[in-house]
Amino acid sequence: MTGSVGKIYSEAIFELAAEQSCAGQVFEELEALKKIWTDNPGIAKLLSAPTLSVSEKLKVTEKTFKGRVSEMVYNFLCVITEKGRAGALVEIADSYKEKWYQTENIAEVTVTTSAPLSAELREKLVKKLETAYKKKVILEEKTDSSLIGGIVVKYGNEMLDGSVKNRLDSIQKQIKGIIA
């Protein structure tokens, strides 16, 4: 769950983007900016530095982002820079993503298996998950050899653990319960 700053700013830009029918483009640009902020934490520090004036920060924003993002996202960057909220961009982008996925009926599902999924199995799994959740599914795949086999599916607060490791752990607990 994102905090109030991320939620407030993301709702503001989402409403504006929805009015101008560019919410998808803004989503993609915010995701790209989130990656830039994550890969280069110095950007947020620079745009939040108390030693720089707001006009200096806006000049940095202009030189770095003007013409590289849409006018709406550029103006949004200027607003959060002026308000001293540039450090919250990742939080804002995460909150926007939640709203975008909710609006577009998208479920981001994490699947962990002991070995990478084949293309055929991935396709079948996505179809089953889309049927189960009644949403378009974006699959994030992870591998964990300790699972031995089977699959672990996570969506929101829901987790389905069908791994061999989980079954063995369950059997081990039952045996310990009988012996104890």
Condensed to tens digits (0 to 9), the pLDDT of residues 87-124 reads 999 999 999 999 999 999 999 999 999 999 999 999 99
Residues 23 and 55 in one domain: yes
Confidence of residue 180 (pLDDT cuts 50, 70, 90): low
The DSSP 8-state label assigned to residue 150 in this structure reads: S
Residues 127 and 152 in one domain: yes
Q: How many CA atoms lie within 13 A of 34 on its CB side?
A: 16
For residue 147, the enclosing domain spans 105-179
Final residue of a domain: which of 102, 133, 150? Answer: 102
Residues 97 and 109 in one domain: no
Q: Is the pLDDT of residue 2 over 50?
A: no
H/E element, 157:
none
Residues 93 and 119 in one domain: no
Instruction: Note the pLDDT of residue 164.
Output: 82
Residues 134 and 114 in one domain: yes
Residues 84 and 11 in one domain: yes
Instruction: Note the pLDDT of residue 18.
Output: 97
Instruction: Note the pLDDT of residue 1.
Output: 41
Final residue of a domain: which of 53, 68, 102? Answer: 102
Q: Is the pLDDT of residue 161 over 90?
A: no
What mean pLDDT is reported for the chain?
A: 93
**Into how many domains does the chain fold?**
2
Residues 167 and 81 in one domain: no
**Runs of H (alpha helix) within the chain:** 4-19, 23-39, 41-48, 54-65, 71-82, 89-103, 119-133, 164-179
Final residue of a domain: which of 75, 102, 129? Answer: 102
Confidence of residue 3 (pLDDT cuts 50, 70, 90): low
pLDDT (average), residues 19-46: 96
Instruction: Note the pLDDT of residue 6.
Output: 92
